[in-house]
Structure 1
Amino acid sequence: MSPNEFQGLIARVTARIASRPLDAELESWLNAEYAAGSTGYTELASACRTGAQEGWLAEREAAGIRYGRIFKALPDTHGFSVDVVQMNNIAGPHHVHPNGEIDLIVPLTEGATFDGHAAGWCVYGPGSAHRPTVAGGDALVLYLLPEGAIEFTKHAG
């Protein structure tokens, strides 16, 4: 797996979701179409694990969180930026999603969750905010951000 091959995997997903609203219906569709254990999910999860192990994903580290933006919002990714973080029983910095956020959750420890979600997908709509939290062990989370839009805040909660 290379960054270019990874981009191709992402582009196959983003091509199918680029025109859809970021809402509960999209989350349900992703969790059906790319369900944990399915071929599509397994390919993406394996690519995330490989990229993190090889150091071309989540290549930076701060405050116990490995992170990195592998792709800015590009035409090839249908206007989504692609970030991957690795977190282990920790809450990350509070932020707002001006255009929403789509998250692929890849537990590295069996049973690890991201914001209460197990392996699979969660979708935050435009204007939503959270303090991303991994509990129950170690997990990789792939973030798709429309237009790469994210606003970190000083909010403590």
Structure 2
Amino acid sequence: MTPERFQDLIASLTATLEGQPLDAALAERLNREYPAGSPVYEALFDACRQAVAAGWMCSRENDGIRWGRVIRHGAATHGFSVDVVDMKDLAGPHHVHPNGEIDLVMPILDDGSPGGGARFDGQGPGWKVYGPGSAHRPTVTGGRALVLYLLPQGAIEFSRAAA
């Protein structure tokens, strides 16, 4: 998996998201059309695991969280940036989503293979959507997970709030 191939894979997804309101209906749609086990979910999961293993994804580490901005927002990804984190049983830094956030939750075992019961903010394998202006302290419980974040216009604001 190369960064270019990964961007092409993401672009095929973000093309279906462009202009959509980030709300509960979008989360329902994503979980219906691209649920865990579907070809799209599995392709993204496999691509992330390959990229992490190759060392270009989640290449930074801070306070037990491996992370990285993989793609800056732009026309190629229909205005979305892409970040991926690797977290195990911890809470990340509080932040606000000025334009919302779309998350793909991918539980993994400690050896990096798919599996386990990890949940991200209560969501198991699948999609979680936060609307514009929402905020949280991203939390993984029950194990380890890769979480892919799609941020419209790359907008995220970190704060010191305890959420």
What TM-score does the superposition give when structure 1 sets the normalisation length? 0.98
- 1:22-33 matches, within 5 Å, as 22-33=22-33
> Structure 1 residue 14 and structure 2 residue 45: aligned?
no
Question: 1:76-98, CA deviations, whole angstroms, 9 ceiling, x for partnerless residues?
Answer: 00000000000000100000000
> Structure 1 residue 154 and structure 2 residue 160: aligned?
yes
Question: 1:39-91, CA deviations, whole angstroms, 9 ceiling, x for partnerless residues?
Answer: 11000010011111111111100000000001110100000000000000010
Number of the residue aligned with 1:2: 2
> Structure 1 residue 114 and structure 2 residue 120: aligned?
yes
Number of the residue aligned with 1:71: 71
Distance 1:21 1:81 in 2: 16
Number of the residue aligned with 1:132: 138
Amino acid at match of 2:161: H
Distance 1:156 1:126 in 2: 19
Moved over 4 A (4+): none
- 1:89-104 matches, within 5 Å, as 89-104=89-104
Distance 1:3 1:44 in 2: 13
Gap regions ≥5 residues in structure 1 = none
> Structure 1 residue 48 and structure 2 residue 48: aligned?
yes
Gap regions ≥5 residues in structure 2 = 110-115
